Amino acid sequence: MILESLAFKNGGNIPRKYGYKNGNLSVPLKISKVPEETKSLVLIMDDPDAIGAVGKVWVHWVLWNISPNTQEIIENSIPLNSIEGKTDFNEIGYGGPAPPDKEHTYIFKLYALDTELNLKQGSTKVDVEKSMKNRIIAETKLEGKYAP
């Protein structure tokens, strides 16, 4: 399974307009090579570098029940029938990069599941991770850097 962005290369810099304070547009993503037996996809974007600044991994986007046929998540949108969870900004939906101190690396993790998740909009990353336990067929990630 492959996760890419048309806006930046893996390990590259995420453009300013995707930052929380600079437009907060969700990043365009391209998905390919999803396993045939996949029933749904989950996307989690977080910032492990935030541990140094705020004492925890900061959650920026949680999106689940993405159709396994999805090949692209268009900038500033979510796929039809997918559901968004709550971020650590205490908001539902995408919350772009917002490093409080220095350049941080943001990780977009994509999971292929053998089921759909029975969770309501606004559920948290913890809820999603619990629900997908023992249901993951494949996973991949994309990393991008962003500086204040």
Amino acid symbol at 73: I
How many Cα atoms are found within 13 Å in the side-chain-facing hemisphere of 106? Answer: 34
For 101-143, how does the pLDDT look when each residue is reduced to its tens digit (9 = 90+)?
999 999 999 999 999 999 999 999 999 999 999 999 999 999 9
3-state secondary structure 61-121: EEEEEECCCCCEECCCCCCCCCEECECCCCCECCCCCCCCCCCEEEEEEEEEECCCCCCCC
* pTM reported for the whole predicted model: 0.97
Q: Which domains does the chain have, with CATH numbers?
A: 2-146 (3.90.280.10)
For 1-59, how does the pLDDT look when each residue is reduced to its tens digit (9 = 90+)?
999 999 999 999 999 999 999 999 999 999 999 999 999 999 999 999 999 999 999 99
Whole-number pLDDT of residue 135: 98
| Interval 82-87 mean pLDDT | 98
φ, ψ for residue 124 (rounded to 5)?
-100, 170
Whole-number pLDDT of residue 115: 98
